[in-house]
């Protein structure tokens, strides 16, 4: 019997793809084995399979910043045909190496700004357009409501980097230079952005320098914090009476601006076929089927933000998911993390120093200087 082995993220993104795979396998007479792995393990296992060319997986899920590394050295099979134009451009762009597509976007994640609409109205505050508006609202609501005005995640690694990137970009900074050859985080704009993050930290819960997404969302759900950066996966929980004390009170908008236009970090999940797969024909049939409009609509109903404009604009989905219009605007303006095969190393190093600064263990300027040194060492290292 024909078979496919599919590696997926252990989470809502992977659950939808797992369900789709079982449906496709049943209708096509193909035995499906789904390997569900936590985020860090998925990266390690997939990267090992790709570089060793064992062919253990026929289809893989990957977070978009992994793509430059995973697409290197011919490790992914190129798509047998061009993607269609219904895919959102920012989501499709991160599936490409040079002029060739090696993946299709399955989950359209881009950061959103979550805020308590009821409290903003109560104190005559407009939805935040700039980071200065966020700071003003954090002070106002925090003092008058006896709650934390803001909450963020600043645990080392991916957590703190994800929450810092929209600030860094809004203040006009970046992690690496435009050509990707050198660190750029220690610019005046980068240091100022980190100082601003620490200012927001004064209105965040104690211990936030160890927070990840679960802790941030818990404060919103328990009505102990008023604002945060967050991912669309948490929207459903905010309106679930079984989980939330703030049903209908959380509103969503795109990232605030500062010197530059506000942009959220892109966090698309991609699906691809390893070049070592022994079942590439079936694998690509499944990948194109799972990402077509009809199947993506089903994935959206299972909790995954789509990557197709037609699905985001579907009237019945817009009626069901009140944040869809904002999510689409955020995706259209979103920005990917630096496209380098060394991003995982860079993110880990950068995150250590950002977290130290948020914990009060290092001055922002020193943290950025040390981060830049570490990033430069990574970039100079041979692949």
CATH number, domain of 273, equals: 3.40.190.10
Residue 185 is encoded by which pair of tokens? 């985080």
| pLDDT at position 383 | 64
Tokens 């209105």 sit at which residue? 203
| 127 and 229 assigned to the same domain | yes
87, 103: one domain: yes
Task: With CA atoms as reference, report the closest residue to 285 among 59, 133, 56.
Answer: 59
Give me the count of residues in the chain.
383
Domain boundary among 296, 315, 333: 333
Could you tell me if 296 and 350 lie in one domain? no
Q: Which structural domain range is residue 56 located in?
A: 3-107+269-333
Stretches in the chain below the pLDDT threshold 50: none
pLDDT given for residue 358 in this prediction: 98
Q: Which of 52, 62, 153 is nearest to 111 (CA)?
A: 153
Looking at residue 33, its pLDDT comes to 98
Q: Kindly state the tokens that stand for 284.
A: 């690509």
**96-97 and 227-230 as β-strands: parallel, antiparallel, unpaired?**
unpaired
Q: Write down the pLDDT at residue 280.
A: 97
Q: Are both 133 and 200 inside the same structural domain?
A: yes
Beta bridge partners of 101: 96
Residues 281 and 308 in one domain: yes
| pTM, two decimal places | 0.94
């Amino acid at each position: 019997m024909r078979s496919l082995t599919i590696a997926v993220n252990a989470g809502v993104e992977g659950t939808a793809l797992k369900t789709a795979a079982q449906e496709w396998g049943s209708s096509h007479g193909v035995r499906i084995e789904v390997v569900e792995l936590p985020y860090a393990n998925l990266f390690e296992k997939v990267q090992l399979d790709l570089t060793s060319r064992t062919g253990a997986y026929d289809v893989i899920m990957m977070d978009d910043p992994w793509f430059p590394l995973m697409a290197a050295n011919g490790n992914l099979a190129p798509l047998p045909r061009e993607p269609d134009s219904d895919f959102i451009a920012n989501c499709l762009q991160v599936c490409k190496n040079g002029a060739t597509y090696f993946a299709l976007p399955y989950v359209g994640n881009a950061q959103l700004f979550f805020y308590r609409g009821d409290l903003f109205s109560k104190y005559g505050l407009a939805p935040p357009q700039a980071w200065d508006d966020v700071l003003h609202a954090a002070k106002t609501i925090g003092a008058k409501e006896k709650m934390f005005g803001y909450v963020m995640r600043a645990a080392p690694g991916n957590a703190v980097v994800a929450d810092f990137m929209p600030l860094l970009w809004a203040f006009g900074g970046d992690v690496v230079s435009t050509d990707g050859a050198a660190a750029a985080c220690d610019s005046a704009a980068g240091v100022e952005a980190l100082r601003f993050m620490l200012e927001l930290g004064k209105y965040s819960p104690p211990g936030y320098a160890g927070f990840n997404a679960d802790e941030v969302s818990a404060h919103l759900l328990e009505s102990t914090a008023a604002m945060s950066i967050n991912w669309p996966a948490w929207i459903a929980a905010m309106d679930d009476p079984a989980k939330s004390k703030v049903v209908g009170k959380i509103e969503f908008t795109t990232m605030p601006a500062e010197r530059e236009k506000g942009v959220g970090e892109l966090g698309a999940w991609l699906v691809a076929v390893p070049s070592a797969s022994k079942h590439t024909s079936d694998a690509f049939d499944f990948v194109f089927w799972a990402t077509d409009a009809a199947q993506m609509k089903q994935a959206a109903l299972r909790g995954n933000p789509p990557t197709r404009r037609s699905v985001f604009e579907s009237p019945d989905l817009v009626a069901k998911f009140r944040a869809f219009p904002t999510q689409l605007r955020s995706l259209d303006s979103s920005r990917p993390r630096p496209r380098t095969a060394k991003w995982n190393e860079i993110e880990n190093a950068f995150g250590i120093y950002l977290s130290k600064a948020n914990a009060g263990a290092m001055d922002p300027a020193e943290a950025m200087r040390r981060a830049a040194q570490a990033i430069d060492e990574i970039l100079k290292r041979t692949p």
